[in-house]
């Protein structure tokens, strides 16, 4: 696809306006549509301010020229000349299906239709279309202009040739594309679940407080943010809902079980930073948060969360969700992990990681702690992943 191709974006919220910005900065004319007129106005003002700032910093030559590449639309009719449409509307399957059906009436027969969904099945969205073979997932990360990773997700109906077209286009846009099987949470939102879930479990069991867990993960693990600070930052309305959706989509596999602690925060409206309160109270200073520095507690927390994360990465590889290289890229570029989890496993030793998981399995007798058969094989054969 060349720069002359017109790109359509459905939904002008946080993700849609970010994706539209990326496409315009890559040289395309962009049609940005929303069914809410005030959302379009907000996107126009936001993009204009962003381009102005970029011009002041010398990163672009003309904010006005960039803004001129946009058509702000309140009807899907404006998509008629587009070669690719990326949908970023509310995360509801029935709404997405109906919008895809409507857009398909307007666009040309070879226009590619993509969804930015975080957790819905691409195959089920494609099934709502008369030409399901042109539908795929293009999953950007927030904020889209700054995060390099894009997960490309073919539905089971997608024409294989479209994957290459999408990959080339994302590279032209300066992105790092990876390819994921259409399974719940794709790569990042599947593998990252224990970062939150296991941390909450350690806290609920009274092993350590949130301050201790966050400190161990950042100081020992080298992660930029601890799990509780990160959940508060993402917002429990988003993070809890992804966890619950992934849990249901995996037929209630206990590995992905949501927690009552986080559900209660959501019910209370304590959504995290944006409401001033979540796991942390942002009215207090960080110094008010308890933490212990007991070295054995620290090592136990780190080993437990890391073993669960590595097990997810290994199991995703085992089940063909993505390649070794794409799993490593996804976790280092999509959620900024300090190291790829498969490389981390190699350095730690598959046998050491397995020993932690088997120890947890022994202690709890829960399927949640079952090790991936591939991890067991690598441990037995002393093999490396990377």
Chain residues that interact with ligand NAI, rule: CB under 6 A:
10-16, 34-36, 39, 88-91, 95, 99, 116-118, 140-142
Instruction: Exactly one of 87, 151, 312, 328 is catalytic; name it.
Output: 151
Considering beta carbons, is residue 50 or 116 the nearer one to ligand NAI? 116
Using Cβ positions, the residue closest to ligand NAI within the complex turns out to be 13
Per the annotation, the verdict on 118 as an active-site residue is yes
Give the gyration radius of the chain's Cα atoms: 22
- Tell me the C-alpha distance between 10 and 25, whole Å: 18
Least Å from the CB of residue 185 to ligand NAI: 11
Considering beta carbons, is residue 16 or 298 the nearer one to ligand NAI? 16
Residue 62: burial class (beta carbons within 10 Å; 0-12, 13-18, 19+): exposed
Least Å from the CB of residue 240 to ligand NAI: 13
Considering beta carbons, is residue 144 or 213 the nearer one to ligand NAI? 144
Instruction: Exactly one of 87, 104, 139, 312 is catalytic; name it.
Output: 139
Considering beta carbons, is residue 15 or 306 the nearer one to ligand NAI? 15
Per the annotation, the verdict on 139 as an active-site residue is yes
Instruction: Exactly one of 189, 239, 311, 372 is catalytic; name it.
Output: 189
Least Å from the CB of residue 243 to ligand NAI: 13
Distances in Å between the Cα of 319 and the Cα atoms of 137, 186, 316, 326 are 19, 12, 5, 14
Q: Cα dihedral angle (229, 233, 237, 242), rounded to 10 degrees?
A: -80
Least Å from the CB of residue 234 to ligand NAI: 7
- Please name the residues in contact with 287: beta carbons below 8 A apart, sequence gap of 6 or more: none
Instruction: Exactly one of 17, 29, 118, 311 is catalytic; name it.
Output: 118
Considering beta carbons, is residue 203 or 240 the nearer one to ligand NAI? 240
Least Å from the CB of residue 59 to ligand NAI: 23
The full length of the chain comes to 386
Catalytic residues, by residue number, are: 118, 139, 151, 189
């Amino acid at each position: 696809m060349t720069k002359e191709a017109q790109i359509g974006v459905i939904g002008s919220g946080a993700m849609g306006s970010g994706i539209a910005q990326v496409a315009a900065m890559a040289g395309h004319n962009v049609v940005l549509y929303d069914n809410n007129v005030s959302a379009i106005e907000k996107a126009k003002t936001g993009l204009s301010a962003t381009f102005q700032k970029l011009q002041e910093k010398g990163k672009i030559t003309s904010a006005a020229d960039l803004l001129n590449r946009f058509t702000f639309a309140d009807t899907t009719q404006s998509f008629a000349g587009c070669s690719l449409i990326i949908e970023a509307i509310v995360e509801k399957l029935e709404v997405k299906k109906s919008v895809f059906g409507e857009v398909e009436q307007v666009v040309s027969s070879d226009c590619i239709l993509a969804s930015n969904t975080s957790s819905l099945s691409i195959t089920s969205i494609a099934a709502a279309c008369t030409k399901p073979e042109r539908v795929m997932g293009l999953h950007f990360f927030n904020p889209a202009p700054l995060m390099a990773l894009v997960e490309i997700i073919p539905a089971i109906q997608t024409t294989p040739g479209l994957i290459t077209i999408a990959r080339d286009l994302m590279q032209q846009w300066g992105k790092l594309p990876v390819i994921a099987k259409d399974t719940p949470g794709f790569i990042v939102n599947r593998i990252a679940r224990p970062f939150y879930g296991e941390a909450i479990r350690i806290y609920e069991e009274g092993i350590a407080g949130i301050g201790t867990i966050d400190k161990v993960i950042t100081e020992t693990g080298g992660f930029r943010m601890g799990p509780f600070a990160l959940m508060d930052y993402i917002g429990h309305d988003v993070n809890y809902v992804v966890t619950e959706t992934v849990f249901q989509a995996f037929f209630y596999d206990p590995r992905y079980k949501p927690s009552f602690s986080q559900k209660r925060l959501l019910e209370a409206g304590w959504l995290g930073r944006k409401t001033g309160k979540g796991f942390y109270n942002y009215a207090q200073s960080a110094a008010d948060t308890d933490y212990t520095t007991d070295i054995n507690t620290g090592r136990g927390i780190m080993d437990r969360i890391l073993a669960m994360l590595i097990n997810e990465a290994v199991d995703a590889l085992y089940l063909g969700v993505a390649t070794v290289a794409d799993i490593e890229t996804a976790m280092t570029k999509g959620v900024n992990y300090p190291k790829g989890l498969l490389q981390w496993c190699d350095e730690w030793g598959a046998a050491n990681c397995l020993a932690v998981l088997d120890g947890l399995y022994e202690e709890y007798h829960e399927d949640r702690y079952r090790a991936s058969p591939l991890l067991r094989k690598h441990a037995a054969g002393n093999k490396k992943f990377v």
